[in-house]
Amino acid sequence: MTQEPNSRPMFRFRCMSQDFPRFWPQFWPWLTLLAWCVPLLLTRSDTQSFLAHDEGLYAWRARGMLETGDWITPRSWDTLYLHKTPGFYWLLAMGFQVAGCSEWVARLPAILAGVGCTLLMYTLGRQLVGPAAGWLGAALLNLQFLWLSYSRQAVPDVPLIFGFLLGLTCLLRAETAGRPGQWRFGAGVCWGLALLLKSLALIPPLLGLLPYLILEQRRHRHLTSPVLYLGTAAGLIPLLAWLVLAAQANGWPTLISALIGVVASGDRVGDQRSTVLYYLWNVPANSFPWFLLGILGVVALLRHPVPRYQSLLLGFPLVVLGVISLMGNRIPHYALPLYPWLALLAGVGLEQHILAPKHLGRPARGLVVLFTGLGVILCASVLVLTFPWVQTRLNLGADLLAYRPAVLVLSLGWLGLILGDRLPRWGLVGLWLGAAWLALLLAARAGAFGDYTLGLKAFLARPAVAGVLDHYAVNFIWDRGGKLSTLLGFYTPILGKRVPSLEVLEAGHYVWIGPGTPEQAAGRYRVIGEFEGWELVKTLPPSEAQPQPE
């Protein structure tokens, strides 16, 4: 455990953390965590199409910045989007400029941030609850499906959390470092820059620090440190510069209207019928089964409070949960700041209830029985699904059956937990986590984290379609764009213009025509390919035009 000079450990957990460094060389935790998270983040991340809304929008607007040379105003065609800060657009646009436009380049910032969050959670956990629980918490972070999914997407959520965790690491380092001012300044810079990535999304985790900042103020004096606020001001310089430049380019009324609109509406999407209890079931469902270990971690912390950091360990998730529950817009990924803390609490639960005791207690035995039972159910399901008549009866396609190896590995691993006390404790934990890790890796290879728009890349790779896209500019016509208008715009290498009708184009032009438009019945084109109602066509002279069949 983290110790102060000439003092006892911060809290008296019956654990092996004191012996952890003896057989765990200093550099091994970092190397093993890299070996743990990198395969999960990289497997097939470069071969799967974008998730249309969010991934496609960020990539499309970033490409627009690069091609127009306007790095101040995000836009889609002629529509301005000033309601989101441009930091993530800039990251993607710089990546596209260096390595070209692709899914891999667009997802690289989130992947790197996912790796960084894993290492930062070990750093934080080592200071808060000791190296063993810290390592387990960092490893468990990547076993939560929602977190892993967003760590592989071209969206700013995980990079934003990385900026927050980096700032928190600096702030806690200020308590033990010889020059606390430098670390406080660094914390402020990190949080100021993080606001450039997704602005309002940083507010819930910052509010989550209030219990720690207020209750421990007498000791750490962070709130009265002018250096912290000076660092925040320095980090806000790029954001303030963008606001001024955006106002000069588009006018203050336009900018203020966009910013007020997003604050007033909450950028509402998703199910507005959800209640304040939404995250009480959604977060456990998306972090299952590890939130059960997190509950054991909370129990351990309540029994053995951690001096100095109890308000951070337990206050942070409670405040963040309350803030996001009171927001009018409730979406699963708004709870992402909770998942690193859930993983850390689960690491504490694993250490205190599995590793530390000489014999498994009742809660630990109950969890072992539960996971073993899940293993039995999953194994039986895989065996039943091997029969062709079952597959036919349930109408299971090849895409779903591709996950059978992952489910089988998970079930066999958890079945092994029945050995309980007969296994070495690290062996039991390794079987528990290792089975889930290998199952997620196999699921990623089978496409669990995409292909988000099934069949799109295969359609674009058809010789007739690819031949047009590679060599000719393609225009766009649609009434209601939908998600595919964004994706097709990004995947079209040579963009033409968005035109109101075919009448403005001469013969020989290529056009994407959206579903439901009057142009689809005009008959002035030859269809080259069709995907989900969208047609890639070539315009014809009036003498060759044929009415399209009903």
Domain extents in the chain = 33-158+243-349, 357-445, 456-544
User: Which two tokens mark 450?
Assistant: 């995409």
Q: What is the rounded distance in angstroms from the CA atom of residue 548 to the CA atom of residue 537?
A: 12
CB neighbour list of residue 528: distance below 8 Å, 6 or more residues apart: 464, 465, 468, 510, 535, 536, 537, 538
Task: Provide CB contacts within 8 A for 125, sequence distance 6+.
Answer: 131, 133, 134, 135, 137, 138, 344, 347
Give percent above pLDDT 70 in the chain. Answer: 88
CA 340 to chain centre: 12
Least confident range from 107-116, 160-169, 226-235, 383-392: namely 383-392
User: Which structure tokens are listed for 390?
Assistant: 């079952």
3-state secondary structure of 470: helix
Whole-angstrom CA distances from 19 to 30, 127, 132, 230, 328 are 18, 16, 9, 41, 48
- Does the pLDDT value for residue 395 go beyond 90? no
CA–CA dist 407, 386 (Å, integer):
13
Name the residue among 135, 94, 107 with its Cα closest to residue 42: 107
Q: pTM, whole model, 2 decimals?
A: 0.90
DSSP state for residue 296 in the 8-state scheme = H
Under the banding of pLDDT at 50, 70 and 90, the label for residue 141 is very high
Q: What DSSP assignment string belongs to 67-109?
A: HH---SS-EETTEE--SS-SHHHHHHHHHHHHH-S-HHHHHHH
Contact partners, residue 550, CB within 8 Å, separation at least 6: none
Give the CA radius of gyration of the chain.
Answer: 26
Tell me the pLDDT tens digit for each residue of 296-330: 999 999 999 998 999 999 999 999 999 999 987 88
Tell me: cis bond preceding 271? Omega within 30 of 0 counts.
no
pLDDT in tens, 168-192: 999 999 998 878 899 999 999 999 9
State what percent of residues in the chain have pLDDT above 90: 52
Answer yes or no: are the C-beta atoms of 137 and 67 closer than 8 Å: no
Q: Name residues whose C-beta falls within 8 Å of residue 506's C-beta, 6 or more positions apart in sequence.
A: 539
Q: For 175-184, 274-283, 409-418, 517-526, which range has the lowest pLDDT when averaged over its residues?
A: 517-526
